[in-house]
Structure 1
Amino acid sequence: MPVTSVTTDPEALTLTLVADFPVAPERVWKAFTDPQQLQRFWGPPGYPSTFTAFDFTPGGIAHYTMTSPQGEASHGRWEFTRIDPGTSFEVLDAFADADGAPNTDMPAARMSFTVSATPEGSQLQSVTYFPSADALEQLVGMGMVEGATMSMNQLDVVLQSLRDYAQGKGTRTEILDDQHVRITRLIEGPADLVWRAHHEPELMKQWLLGPDGWTMPVCEIATSVGDSYRYEWAPADGTEGQAFGFEGELVYAEEGRRSVTTERMIGMDGIQNLNDLNLYEEDGATLLTLLVEYPDAATRDMILATGMTDGMEASYARLESLVLA
C-alpha cells in the first residue's frame, strides 16, 4: 500500500499523510491535477467522486460529489489558493451543497499537496491545517484518517495503465478492513459489453457458473433500483440436494458504470452482504472492481475460506471469453 504514515498533531492543528510511489513525481502530479484521474481515487472505496468543475488556476474552483453505495451524495469544494507547477498546490477544502456553494455549518480546512523525488520514485506529502481543535476533533471523528488512507491507497491502480496493473494477474482479492474486501479482474474488452454480460440473463447463464460442472437454471435480474433479483445454481449432472442460490435487491445504479446490490444466501436469514460493482475502461480493456461489505470479520473470513476467489476467477475467465467473442 502506498501510504506509509498518517499523523495528527493537536498542538499544530494538522493532519499529515505521507505516501510513496515507484513512479516519477511528474506522474503523481498528473494524477492530482487531471480530474478524470483524480476522481478514480479521491474518495474511499464505496464512495467514488465525480468532479463536475475543475479550474486549476489560483483562485479557481473545483466541485466534486462522493456517492455512497446507497446513492447518498456528499458534495465538496476546493478553492485553489496556491500552485507551484509540478511541485505543490494548496486548496481551501470545504463541504458544499449540490450547487457547489460552501456549507458554512461544517468546518473548512486548508490542504497542501507536495510531490518530491525519492531514490525509489516519488513521495507525496499532504498536510491538512484545521482552523481549531474542535474542527480537528470533529473531522477526525468523522473518519477522515481512515478515509484519506483508503483513498490514497487506491493510487497504485491509477498510476499504471490497466494492463500493466492487472493483465495476467487473474482475480485478485484484497482485504481492506474487517468488513470490506476489494476484488479486481481485468477483462479484455469494452465496458459496455461487460455491463451487458452482467445484466442480460442469457449472457449471465453462460459465464456466472463458478467451477466447471454447474448450471444456472434461475437468473432473475433486477432492472430498476428497488427491484429484487434471484440466482440459483445446480450441478450439471442433475445431482439433487446440492443446488443453492442468492437473492437480494438493487440499491443503486449508474448505467454502464456502477451497480450496488444486497446479497443473501437463499434459506439463510441474518447474513447479508453489500456488493458494489464498478467498471472502468481504458484502451479497450475494462477493470472490473467488486467492493464487498460483510457484516463483520468473522463472516468475511468464513466466505473467503470457501475458495470464493478461485470460483470467481473461473467465472471471470468465461466472461472474458464471452466478451472477446
Structure 2
Amino acid sequence: MIAIEIPEKNKFLYMPENLAECDAKQYADFSKLLWMAQEKQISYDQLCYMAVYPLLNLRKSKKKSPEKYENIIRLSEYIDNFFDKDEEGNFTGIKLEFTKNYLPKYRLFYSYYGPDDGFSDVTFGQYIDGLDEYIYYSKTGDIKSLRMLFSIFYLKKNEVYNYRISKKRAEGIFRYVDIRHLYGFFLFFSSMQSFVLQGEIMVMGNPIDLSIIFTKDEKDTFESTIPGTGFRNIITDMAESQVFGPYKGVEKTNLWVVLIRLYELKKKELDDKEKNKTNDSTRA
C-alpha cells in the first residue's frame, strides 16, 4: 500500500499498488476501467486519472479547481505500479500475481457463486471449457465469450457444472451481468492461467513446479503461447488410460488432481530421457 498524507485535513489515505492489494469494490471498479481502456473508450492517461477515485475511495466533487485537478494528476502517476513495463519503460501488461477471487458472488435474481480462491473447487472439464472461451476472447474481444467464461464458473449454490446450462445463461440472464464482474473474472482467470503455466505448489511438503508439464521436446517445432485445444487431448489420453475413468470421469476430476498427475507423468518422461542419455553415454 502507498500511504498518502493530506496535511491540511490531517488525514492519511492508502492506495493499493496492484490488483492483489485491492478490496472487492476497488477491484471491480478498476476492472471496468481496464476494460474501457482495452476497448479504447478511454486512453491510458484517462484510465490513470479516473482510477484515482475508486482506488482511494474518493467521491468526485462538483466543485472543480486547478489545485484539485493537479493533485489528482500527481496521484495518477502511482497507477503505473499496476502495470508491467519492459527495460525501455514500455507498457507490457497489467500485473497479475494473485490467486484470490475478489468477486466470489454475484446476485442477479438468484445468487451465483464463482470458484474458490486458487480454483480449488474447479473441475478439469470446467477449466478446459473456460480456457477455450478465455483464448477466444483474448484474440477477438467478443463480449459473448466473456459472458460465457463467466457463466461456466458462476453457478448456483451446490450446482454441478453443465455446459448446456451455462451456455443458456450466457445467452440469457447473464447478458445483464455488470462488466465489472465479467472483466474482473477474466483478470482472475488470466492470473490463474499464469499460475498454472508457471506456478509452484506444495504437495506433501514438496514443491511441485507445474511449468515442466508444458516443457517442449527439443524436436518439437510447433510454437504456441497458450495451451488451448491441446489440453482437450489430455482428457482423451487419460480416459484411454483409465487413470480417472472414462472421458466424463476425467472432466469431473478436480483440476489440481489432474495437473499433479500430469506433473508425475511428465517428470517420469523427463527422468526416463535423462536415464537413457546416461546409459547411451556409458555404452559409448
Same fold (TM over 0.5): no
Report which of the two structures shows the higher radius of gyration computed on alpha carbons. Answer: 2
- Compare the two structures and name the one with the higher helix fraction: 2
- Compare the two structures and name the one with the higher strand fraction: 1
Structure 2 length as normaliser, TM-score? Answer: 0.29
